[in-house]
Structure 1
C-alpha cells in the first residue's frame, strides 16, 4: 500500500504548479503511519488551513450545544443587534433573515451568496492583486449587495458560502463573551495539546505564503480577516491529532453525527463534494465517480490546497497540503486517489 502512496505522491509533485507538498496518513490507533514531503514542507511545518478552519468553528458550535448554550434550531438574529443583519437574505422580494437558523449556516443551506467567489467585488480576485483587511461588518454589507440563491431550507439545495461560518464565529463570541482565538484555544487546542495550531491575530504571528501558480503570495491581513471561515494555521502532525478527535469523539459526543450526516450537493463548481453539518463528504462510488471506490471521505479541504479527511471504509486519515490556490481541486483529487488505492 505504501508503494501506491509513493507513486501517487510522486506523480503529484511532478506537476509544474506544485512547489511544495506534504502528506501524512494514519489509522485511528497510529500503528500504521505514512508520510511524504516535498519542497522543504515537513509534517511539522506550518500550513494555512484555509477552510479546514471551519471544522474548528463546527467543533465550538457542537461543544456549546452540549453545554446547553445554543440549539441548532436557534434563530441567528437572536445573537445580533437589531438591524445589523436586516436585509441580509432578501429573496424574491421576501425577507428571510429572521428565519435563518444556526443549522442553516452549519449545513450551508442558508442560500446566502459567497462574496469570496461571486459578484464584481469578488474577494478572491481582489486578494490576488493585493493584501487587504475586511471586517465582518464589511462582509455582511457585501453579502447584502448580492442576491441569495434560494430561500433557507429549500429542498435538496445547499450553497457553499464563507459568510455562513463568519457569522457562526460571531455567534460563538457572543455566547462565550470571549474572542474566537481564545475559544479555539480553550475548546480545542489546549485539550488536544496542540502547540503549533493558532488563529493569527498579531504582527508576530507567522502566516505561510500561498502559491498561486508560480507566485508565492503573502496575504497576512486577509488571512487574519477570515477567522472562523478560513484563518487558522497548523501543522500536518497536529491536524492529524485534531481530525482523529473530531470524528472519534475526543472533543464532543460523536453521537451527534446522526444529525450531521444529512448531506446535500453543493453548487456545481464543488462537484462531487456534498456538505453535512459543518464538514464535507466525497462519495467514492456510483456513477458520479465511475465506480472508482467504496465508501466516502469525510472532513474538509481548503482553497489553498490543504486537506484533512477520514476514510471510514479503511479507517484511514489523510492530512496534507499541495499549496496551490490556482487549482484547489488538486487536493481533492489527491485525497480520492489515496482512498481508492488503499
Structure 2
C-alpha cells in the first residue's frame, strides 16, 4: 500500500465529512499485518474518542455465542424455548395462523432467518420514531410485547430469506446471560474486553456510565436510557482504536475457533430497505460487484454497521480493515456507502 492509497482514502472520507449533515467523524484503516495504517478525524473526533457502536454490538454478542458454542454450553440448533420460560416467548411468532414461537432456534436468531419483525423500525410507535423525540427505557419484556403486536414476515428458515430485526439479538443476549451466569456486561468483559485488553470499550448499565451524544441531522440528542435498553443489539461504547483491535480479533480467530467461524458464512439477502446487504451468522456481507457500485467493485466487505453512523468491516481481497464513525442517526446507509467507497479506493 502506497501513499497514493492513503490519499484516496482521505479523499473518500473528506467527501463524506463535507456532507452538511455530518458534524464529526473518525476513520481508521489498517492492513492485516499492521504495516499500513491510516487515521483521519473530523470535527474534533480522534482515535480514542468514544462513540456509540450501535449495531456493531451484534458482533460482540455473536462472539459470546461462539465462545459458549465452543465450550459445549449450547448448540446453534437449540430451540430458544429451552432457554426461556415458554410463557414469555409463546406468541412471539404467529404466521398464517401457525405459532412457530417454540420452534425458533439460536441459529434462526444469529442468521436473522427467524422472520421476526423489527420493533426498532416497524409499527406506528416504532422505537426509532420515539427516540428522535425523547429518551426512554424499554425493557426486554416490553420489546417482546411489541413484537407480539407486529406481524412476522415469513415462517422461520423459509427458503433463503433473512429479515434484519434487533429482537433476534436481544433474545441472544438473554440466552448468553442464562447460560453463562453473567450479566451481559460481565460476559462481554470476561470473553472479549479483558482478553483483548480493551479498557475503553464497555456496555453501559446506568446513565452515569458515559454515553456519547448522537446527531439527528444537525440536532444533538442524548439518549442514555435508550442506549442502556439496547444491550445486546446495539448498546456498546468504544473507540476507533479499540474497535480495530476487536475487529481484527473477530475475523482473525483470536477469540474463538476459526473452524466455528467458517460455519457462519452462509449469506441470505436482507429486506429491500437494507440495500445491498446480506447476513451471515452474526455479521453483514456486502458484495462489491453489484448495481449499487455500478459493477465496478471486487470482492466483499464483511462486518457490521450501526444505525448511528458506526462501521467495522474487513475487506479480505486487500486484507484491509475499516473502522470508525460518522455519527448521524438520520441516514443509516451512510456508513455502508462510505465503507464500500473506501474498499473501491483500495487499488
Which residue matches 2:73?
Answer: 69
| Offset from partner CA, 1:76-126 (integer Å, 9 cap, x none) | 000011211110000000000111000000000000000000011211001
> How far apart are 1:288 and its partner, in Å?
5.3
**Aligned-residue CA RMSD in angstroms?**
0.8
Secondary structure in 2 matching 1:260: coil
Q: Given the alignment of the two structures, is residue 23 of structure 1 paired with residue 33 of structure 2, yes or no?
A: no
Which residue matches 1:203?
Answer: 207
Q: Given the alignment of the two structures, is residue 188 of structure 1 paired with residue 192 of structure 2, yes or no?
A: yes
Question: Which of 34, 59, 73 in structure 1 is aligned with 2:63?
Answer: 59
| Offset from partner CA, 1:190-239 (integer Å, 9 cap, x none) | 00000000000123200010000010100000000000000000000000
Secondary structure in 1 matching 2:89: coil
> How far apart are 1:14 and its partner, in Å?
1.1
In 2, Cα distance between the equivalents of 1:82 and 1:150?
21
Structure 2 gap ranges (5+): none
| Offset from partner CA, 1:219-268 (integer Å, 9 cap, x none) | 00000000000000000000000000000011001112331110011010
In 2, Cα distance between the equivalents of 1:286 and 1:216?
35
Q: Given the alignment of the two structures, is residue 85 of structure 1 paired with residue 122 of structure 2, yes or no?
A: no
- Number of residue pairs aligned between Structure 1 and Structure 2: 342
In 1, Cα distance between the equivalents of 2:33 and 2:275?
32
Secondary structure in 1 matching 2:88: coil
Q: Given the alignment of the two structures, is residue 285 of structure 1 paired with residue 289 of structure 2, yes or no?
A: yes
> How far apart are 1:289 and its partner, in Å?
3.2
| Offset from partner CA, 1:291-342 (integer Å, 9 cap, x none) | 1211000000000000000000000000010101101111111100000010
Secondary structure in 1 matching 2:304: strand
Normalised TM-score (structure 1): 0.99
Which residue matches 2:269?
Answer: 265
In 2, Cα distance between the equivalents of 1:253 and 1:175?
19
Q: Give every structure 1 segment of 4 or more consecutive aligned residues whose post-TM-superposition deviation is greater than 6 Å.
A: none
In 2, Cα distance between the equivalents of 1:292 and 1:304?
27
Q: Given the alignment of the two structures, is residue 169 of structure 1 paired with residue 173 of structure 2, yes or no?
A: yes
| Offset from partner CA, 1:13-32 (integer Å, 9 cap, x none) | 11110000100000112110
Q: Given the alignment of the two structures, is residue 12 of structure 1 paired with residue 12 of structure 2, yes or no?
A: no
Question: Which of 306, 312, 320 in structure 1 is aligned with 2:310?
Answer: 306
